[in-house]
């Protein structure tokens, strides 16, 4: 959520002092009342909204009705969110678009879905290119499509691997472990590991961006 939007919600009374917030540049989630640039706004904020009273119980001849549990005490209150709840937001198309957008970006972190969806795309594209080249070869033409595909996707694949290692708090140079016997198995384990929770030395948690997007 942008800083200006947070300030607007504070003035309207929607966000309380104990509401956890995070925006770009912060190390971790903190109560908004402890963030210096927002602390002074609470003096200007409107009165907090009263709690929502549960509706009166309904009675009928069919017997007593049970009340459904109320999700929150205040409307607009931000509930604590675990990063993994939003992991499904990274789909196949978004993963491919992200890797193309970060074509030669070797900084930051990449979640598991971004990495594995990209490799699924890579293999599907390779199979299609080989099939087309086989048809071209039968027509006595040069089978260049597979070579061009491999060269064109080499850099984003390399960059995605480095970012995936960063997500598990490993240096990108750990790719070189695949050059030693059984090193490929070690690299595969790293690729399958869940990233570190919260920021690490390579940047913020990529799952955190999805959590922030839920409040936009």
Helices 92-101 and 112-138 pack at an angle, to 10 degrees, of: 80
User: What are the pLDDT tens digits along the chain (216 aa)?
Assistant: 676 777 777 667 677 777 777 666 676 777 766 676 666 666 655 555 566 667 666 654 544 444 444 444 444 444 444 444 444 478 899 999 999 999 999 999 999 999 999 999 999 999 999 999 888 877 776 778 899 999 999 999 999 999 999 999 999 999 999 899 888 999 999 999 999 999 999 999 888 754 444 433
CA distance 20 to 80: 8
Residues 6+ apart with CB under 8 A from 7: 38, 41
pTM, rounded to two decimals? 0.54
CA distance 107 to 98: 13
Size (the chain), residues: 216
Q: Is 125 exposed, middle or buried (0-12, 13-18, 19+ CB in 10 A)?
A: middle
pLDDT at res. 65 = 46
Phi and psi at residue 205, to the nearest 5°: -65, 125
pLDDT at res. 142 = 72
Long-range contacts of 126-131 (CB under 8 A, 24+ apart): 126/150
pLDDT at res. 98 = 93
CA distance 9 to 7: 5
Long-range contacts of 35-44 (CB under 8 A, 24+ apart): 37/3, 38/6, 38/7, 38/10, 41/7, 41/10, 41/11, 42/10, 42/17, 44/11
CA distance 113 to 209: 14
């Amino acid at each position: 959520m942008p800083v200006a939007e947070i300030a607007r919600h504070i003035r309207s009374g929607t966000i309380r002092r104990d509401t956890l917030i995070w925006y770009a540049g912060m190390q971790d989630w903190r109560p908004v009342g402890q963030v210096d640039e927002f602390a002074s706004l609470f003096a200007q904020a409107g009165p907090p909204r009263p709690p929502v009273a549960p509706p009166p119980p309904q009675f009928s001849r069919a017997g007593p009705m049970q009340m459904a549990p109320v999700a929150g005490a205040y409307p607009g209150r931000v509930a604590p969110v675990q990063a993994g709840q939003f992991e499904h937001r990274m789909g196949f198309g978004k993963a491919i678009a992200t890797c193309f957008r970060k074509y030669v970006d070797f900084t930051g972190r990449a979640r598991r879905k971004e990495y594995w969806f990209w490799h699924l795309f890579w293999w599907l594209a390779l199979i299609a290119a080989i099939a087309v080249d086989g048809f071209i070869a039968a027509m006595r033409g040069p089978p260049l499509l597979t070579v061009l595909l491999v060269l064109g996707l080499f850099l984003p694949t390399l960059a995605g691997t480095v970012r995936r290692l960063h997500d598990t708090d490993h240096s990108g140079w750990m790719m070189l472990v695949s050059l030693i016997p059984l090193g490929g198995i070690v690299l595969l384990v790293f690729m399958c590991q869940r990233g570190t929770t919260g920021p690490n030395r390579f940047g913020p948690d990529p799952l955190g961006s999805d959590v922030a997007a839920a409040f936009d």
